[in-house]
Amino acid sequence: MNNCKKINIEMQNRYQDDWPERSIFYNCRMFTEGFIHGSTYGEIEPCLHVGILDFNQLEDRGYHHKIMLMDERSGELYSSKFIFHVIELKKLEETSEEEKKQELYRWARMIAARSWEEVCMEAKGNPYMEAAKDVMDKINQSETERYLYLRQEMAITDEKSRLMTAERKGREEGEILKLISLVQKKCLRGKALEVVSEELEEDPENIREIYKAASEHLENSPEDILEILKRG
């Protein structure tokens, strides 16, 4: 940037367990790149990592998060040269009215658009967004002008990360199916939620939805009940 800041922008539409570590890795690499021998540490340019995610990474309901290095107790800023902006597109619909007035919200809406008509609608009236729309149109029309962002080594790392995430989810799903099966057997015997909770040594709130679904679908398999729970 003209003010010497470095910015790394990444867009990701698949959930990854290690997304925070990935963003830290690339911001750290950018932070140290270009450091000339003999320079002082104070001359290192500020580095901003912008992660535009099509999944929810943080528990807070806000769609935009600014993460900085600061003291945990006092909140005092340690350094403003290492910053992360996380934009969670899945949370746009639950954004407050105050946040919807921000220009960033319009940009996020345009990025999250599912059709070209939506892109045009969001960009209308904003010269910068309309310029971005025109560039998007040009890129989409010519394969040779696409900016190939993910290099081969990144693709390999990403694939490994996705496999690890899938493996973890598989283990978690196996544990949930086991719990559903145990609850279902006790429901077949007509046991109340409190009794099932005590016998399985589980908090009643943790198994309430499982107990309800199992009680209402006694003839279904644990896999079927899990699908019912996923659908809410």
The 10s digit of each residue's pLDDT in 178-189 is 888 888 888 888
Higher pLDDT, 205 or 47: 47
- Residue 149's pLDDT band, with cuts at 50, 70 and 90, is very low
Give one word for 34, left, alpha or beta, with left for phi > 0 and alpha for psi -120 to 50.
left
Q: Residue 222: is its pLDDT beyond 80?
A: yes
Q: Give tens-digit pLDDT for 89-127.
A: 999 988 888 888 889 999 999 999 988 899 999 999 999
Q: Residue 148: is its pLDDT beyond 70?
A: no
Least confident of 51-65, 161-175, 205-219: 161-175
Average pLDDT of the chain to the nearest whole number:
84
Q: How much is the pLDDT for 49?
A: 94
Measured distance CA(216)–CA(228) in Å, rounded: 11
Q: Residue 41: is its pLDDT beyond 70?
A: yes
Higher pLDDT, 71 or 151: 71
Q: Can you tell me the mean pLDDT for 200-215?
A: 85
Distances (CA, A) of 138 to 117, 120, 128, 201: 16, 14, 16, 60
Least confident of 8-12, 140-144, 169-173: 140-144
Q: How much is the pLDDT for 141?
A: 64
Residue type at 104 in one-letter notation: L
Name the percent of the chain lying above pLDDT 90.
35
Q: Can you tell me the mean pLDDT for 148-177?
A: 67
User: Beta partners for 50?
Assistant: 9, 85
Least confident of 17-31, 150-164, 211-225: 150-164
Residue ranges with strand state E in 32-188: 47-53, 64-70, 77-88
Residue type at 6 in one-letter notation: K
Our CA angle for 226, 228, 92, nearest 5°, is 100
Measured distance CA(129)–CA(205) in Å, rounded: 47
- Residue 204's pLDDT band, with cuts at 50, 70 and 90, is confident
Residues with Cβ within 8 Å of residue 103, at least 6 apart in sequence? 126
